Amino acid sequence: MPTAVSLFSGCGGSDAGVIAAGFDVIMANDVLAYAHDVYLANFPETDYRVGDVQTIANFPAAELLVGCYPCQGFSQGGARIANRKINTLYLEFARALNLIQPKAFIAENVSGLRRSTYRHLLEDQLKQFSEAGRHGYDVHWMQLNAHEFGVAQERKRLVIVGIRKDFNIPFVFPGPTHGPLTDTPYFTIANALDGLPDWPEGEFCDDPFHWYYLSRNRRRDWSEVSKTIVSHMRHMPLHPISPSLLRINTDKWVFESEAPARRFSYREAARLQGFMPAYTSHGGDMIFPESITGAKADFSHNMLRHKYRVIGNAVPPPLFHAVAGALPNIWD
């Protein structure tokens, strides 16, 4: 089984995908303690190191390097500040690439990197990665849509793949596995949430729907794919059990009836992100610990917020499964 090192690993979305593709993730890293706790509750065999990646001086040898460096500076739903330090954490990925010199790598970020404001950062990533190590890497990038790979959610992501130049083997991105151009329909909200209760007590944010939330249509029907799952629990899309929304003015929507409405729960959000039971080591739904390792009591009182956060920041496992599965067989 080929080995992989994972950086900016979060709660394990990218790693669940590469594990499903046949890799052994021997090391993972993230700065969030609760991401570490969720990861190890579901993938306990990995050596997960909590802390700033800049403090890690050495990495284990591996054949694949995976990295999903933070996207808040580029994201449509984030601050979108071009000079934020968080925007250059790809340099730490490049440092690891130089030290490990794996046979291949996969990196992921939001599609906003394609915008003119950030294009120079994308170009620098491609340059840094292509020149890494003794041999350098043939680097390819493409925007992929998660719902075309069996994820019940619209989520566009920019994926960068590199294969070491000494192999002289091209990489071809996988084509859609779901949708009208395939033999398999989209994986819908109904498919993803099958078997879950309609009103899971204590698992969803029940804060009031403020004016900003109702400035757009946050609801999709059972037969559709969800809108993008986000990390802020108050902005989570509506569950289809909620009444439809009607637009009554510019940036103003109202519920069609006074029937009860609610956001997706964190457990439902996990499934909509692609964390189906097939993508956990124990074959069940994602496990979410009820405390944070090393946290003081006054820090971990609002576990709901932390659960939503790590899931909203995750990479859909089926997307990385498809990309890792498309790598050429260079592991022998």
Report CA Rg, the chain.
Answer: 20
272: its two tokens: 């909509």
- Helix (H), strand (E), coil (C) string for 154-221: CCEEEEEEEEEHHHCCCCCCCCCCCCCCCCCCCCCHHHHCCCCCCCCCCCCCCCCCCCCHHHCCCECC
Q: Which of 11, 68, 71, 205 is catalytic?
A: 71
**Cα–Cα dist 326/64, whole Å:** 13
**Cα–Cα dist 63/104, whole Å:** 7
Does residue 11 have an active-site annotation?
no
258: left (phi over 0), alpha (psi -120 to 50) or beta: alpha
- Are 291 and 300 in contact by the 8 Å Cβ rule? The answer is yes
Angle (nearest 5°) at CA 295 between 294 and 299: 175
**Cα–Cα dist 55/231, whole Å:** 26
Known catalytic residues?
A: 71
